[in-house]
Amino acid sequence: MIMPRLKLDNTTICLLIFILFFILSFWFTKAPVAQLDSMAPQGGDPFLVTWIWSWEMHQLPINPLTVFDANIFAPFKNTLAFTEHMFGSLLLAWPLLLIFKNIILVYNLICHLTFAIGGLGMYLLAYYLTKNRTASFIAAFIYAFAPYKINHLEHINLSGLWLPYFLLYTQKIFVRFSWPNALLFLGFSLLVFLNAMQYFLFLPFVFIFLAIAYWQPDSWALLKRNWFKIAVIFLIFSAVVVIFTKPYFEIRQEFGLERAINNIEGLSPDLIDYFISPFFYHIFYPAFFPEWAIGPGIFVWLLLITSLVFLFRRHAIDRRLVAYSTFGLLALLCSLGYYLQFTRAETSGLFGPWAIFYHLLPGFGSIRAVGRYSIFFLLAASIIIALGLKEFFLIKQKNNLPKIFITSVALFILLFVEFSFTTPKPYKPLLSAPVVCFWLKDQPLSQIYLELPSGVSLLENNWDAIYEYWSISHFQKIINGYSGYSPRVHQELNKRLLDFDLDISDLQAAKDYGATRLIFHFGFYPPGFKEKIINLLASGDFANLIYQSENDYVYQIK
């Protein structure tokens, strides 16, 4: 905690908060500190993110115009647009990779840096609004380590690390439209857009509510005086948005990409999920919980409700409080999905605001897990709590430093204990690329490879994610791929090839799809399968063996 009597300048305080939050991130995520260079959170997303960064760092210096034509899901184009492109965090990954030379270590470091960067941003935002360091620290701790953030440790695009900075400079330009404020507003708006387009879609609502809160009788005159700055910001921002959204619109037109309502509802939390504490997560979310476990915790709710009551009982209502309360409520309702449901036992309900956005606003129909918009509720709640604590310290505790210190320490301990009950994903070792991958690096780029087995096994080995990660070592075109979306024909081919009882007709289907070479990783198959395939292809009528290393065989299709 920050000692009330310490006389520290703002820069030192910010540095201490950043360091403290970075260290605390290892406690809350249970990360294996000594093995960050070889282990990552369980699941396919660490494979995906490390591949995204690696592909972009590989392709941008060669030909930035083809960066979206990634090497996965061949022979399709624009395959980077099957998921978030993550350029907003590439800015962190690229320099760190130059230093550490290990993409897994870089990935893990950035996962933990998101807690520190986002938490510091919330501190700066809360301090701008309250000028109270203790209240701002509590708000920053809540935003940095709330259960939602811990549950989505591996989803760097969902960390919301740039959101507080966007809010900070949105409000600063409303107060003083200087070039520094305007350019920083532009920069952080672009960082949110480039790191998480699904969050970016919600920013216009946040901007509008805050603009109304800060509107003054002379605002029109201020807009006219600053027309040139506004035009520059608008043109730069529009150019970036058009460039980076064009591949996504092309993908949507080609594949008709729109999430089915029942798919959205299956992943959406319900209202009661908001009130389930981390103390009881192990009871309510034993199998798959990250998309449903959005409850901020008992003590956050108590602080939020107390703060709202305390602040709205004042004679003069702060319009900024109304703005934060409004977009926080809107975010909560959006996060519940197409229907507003009290429990998941209900199959329908009242239409929520998301139903309107889904049908009327571009982009919203492509979002699969709308529960992730709960981060805007968390952001608003953190600020409201900071405002409430400031007033409580001033009015109830008369700015008595010992009382404030005791109260803030007690709050910190209560929040720390409850957040510590959040169970993050376990860390698993990553499989190193086999020798065959380094042989592939020297092969011509005209081939299209299919690595087998493909898809996801009954034991949840996500082979496509593994091959995608291995492709960092060669960037050959592969039919395999793991992403937020995959074409239906790709899914059908995967289902067919998942059967270990393969025959020539199955392999012919792969050839018809576009494969020119097959790579069998026989170490992933059951005993006896290797001999069967070798005998099947021994005649040479369908494919010839061109390379073999350990248990990996490469065949050239005729």
Q: Residue 336 corresponds to which amino acid?
A: L
Query: Exposure string (b/e) for 349-383, b if CB count within 10 Å is 16 or more?
Result: beebbbbebbeeeeebbbbbbbbbbbbbbbbbbbb
Lowest mean pLDDT across 324-328, 341-345, 396-400, 519-523: 341-345
Q: Is 517 helix (H, G, I), strand (E, B) or coil?
A: strand
pLDDT for 252 equals: 85
> Position of tokens 């593994």?
466
Query: Taking a C-beta distance cutoff of 8 angstroms, is the pair 448, 479 a contact?
Result: yes
User: DSSP character for 87?
Assistant: H
Query: Taking a C-beta distance cutoff of 8 angstroms, is the pair 28, 145 a contact?
Result: yes
pLDDT for 459 equals: 47
Distance set, CA 543 to CA 328, 511, 534, 538, 546 (Å)? 59, 10, 11, 8, 9
* Beta bridge mates, 555: 518, 545
Structure tokens at 153: 């440790």
Q: Average of pLDDT values for 311-315?
A: 81
pLDDT for 467 equals: 96
Query: Taking a C-beta distance cutoff of 8 angstroms, is the pair 366, 259 a contact?
Result: yes
Look at residues 80, 475, 89 and name the one whose alpha carbon lies nearest to residue 250. 80
* Beta bridge mates, 429: 39
Q: Average of pLDDT values for 468-485?
A: 95
Each residue of 335-358: pLDDT tens digit? 998 988 887 766 677 888 999 999
Calculate the CA 366 to chain-centre distance.
15
> Position of tokens 């992730």?
372
Q: Residue 203 corresponds to which amino acid?
A: L
> Position of tokens 């529009």?
238
Each residue of 108-129: pLDDT tens digit? 999 999 999 999 999 999 999 9
Query: Per-residue confidence at 287, pLDDT binned at 50, 70, 90?
Result: low
Q: Average of pLDDT values for 420-433?
A: 91
Query: Per-residue confidence at 461, pLDDT binned at 50, 70, 90?
Result: confident
pLDDT for 149 equals: 94
**pLDDT over 70, % of the chain:** 96
Quote the mean pLDDT of the chain.
Answer: 91
Residue 458 has pLDDT above 50, yes or no: no
pLDDT for 413 equals: 97
Q: Average of pLDDT values for 374-378?
A: 97
Residues listed for the chain: 558
Query: Taking a C-beta distance cutoff of 8 angstroms, is the pair 40, 134 a contact?
Result: no
pLDDT for 455 equals: 78
Each residue of 2-43: pLDDT tens digit? 444 557 788 999 999 999 999 999 999 999 999 999 999 998
Calculate the CA 415 to chain-centre distance.
24
pLDDT for 220 equals: 86
CA distance 553 to 323: 61
Task: Compute the chain's Rg from CA coordinates.
Answer: 26
Higher-confidence position of 85 and 287: 85
Each residue of 143-200: pLDDT tens digit? 999 999 999 999 999 999 999 999 999 999 999 999 999 999 999 999 999 999 999 9
Domain extents in the chain: 10-37+84-419, 435-557
Higher-confidence position of 500 and 362: 362
**pLDDT over 90, % of the chain:** 75
User: DSSP character for 434?
Assistant: P
pLDDT for 3 equals: 45
Q: What is the pTM of this model?
A: 0.93
pLDDT for 6 equals: 53
> Position of tokens 């087995």?
453
Each residue of 216-244: pLDDT tens digit? 888 888 888 889 999 999 999 999 999 99
Query: Per-residue confidence at 207, pLDDT binned at 50, 70, 90?
Result: very high
Apex CA 18: angle with CA 414 and CA 399, to 5°? Answer: 55
User: DSSP character for 481?
Assistant: -
Residue 289 has pLDDT above 80, yes or no: no
